[in-house]
Amino acid sequence: MTSAFPTGLTARAIETGDVLAPQFDRNGLIPAVATDAATGEVLMLAWMNAEALARTIETREAHYFSRSRNSLWRKGETSGHTQRVEEIRVDCDQDAVWLKVTPQGGGCVCHTGARSCFYRRVDDRGALIPASQH
């Protein structure tokens, strides 16, 4: 499989068909949300370009596109916190990706050392407080 996904499909084909035709934005990126396959917790939201998505499908290891480094990013390539991909979904209009993953290497996901990047919640006054983790 190459990273050249089909383009030009009808809205109906995109919504109801069996052809993966991700709708990358003008920067060639699509948002990808990763959840823990075991707990359902949202771990992170990152971005993929066509190559990152293709490699994720091929290798079943999560690859993203680092907007800060402007390069392909195999999650955990330096930290060891790779993500084994159990399932890949796309949404109705194929402009978002959902990965169910099993975190490897101890289970940290966030560069802060947290298990999930979403470690704070908004309280009733609009301030941030620690969120309960799984």
Shortest Å, Cβ 41 to its own copies = 7
Instruction: Count CA within 13 A, CB hemisphere, residue 113.
Output: 0
What tokens were used for 99?
């990965």
Among 31, 74, 84, 104, binds its own copies (CB under 8 A): 31
Among 24, 29, 44, 108, binds its own copies (CB under 8 A): 44
Among 9, 57, 84, 104, binds its own copies (CB under 8 A): 57
Task: Identify whether the C-beta of residue 87 lies closer than 8 Å to the C-beta of residue 100.
Answer: yes
Q: Which is nearer to its own copies, 74 or 119 (CB)?
A: 119
Could you please report the per-residue DSSP string of 55-122?
HHHHHSB-EEEETTTTEEEETTTTTS--EEEEEEEE-TTS--EEEEEEE-TTS--STTS-SSS--EEE
What tokens were used for 59?
């290798």
Shortest Å, Cβ 66 to its own copies = 13
Among 33, 50, 51, 72, binds its own copies (CB under 8 A): 33
Binding site for its own copies (CB under 8 A): 1, 15-20, 31, 33, 35, 39-42, 44-45, 57, 87-92, 96, 98, 110-112, 114, 117-122, 126-129, 131
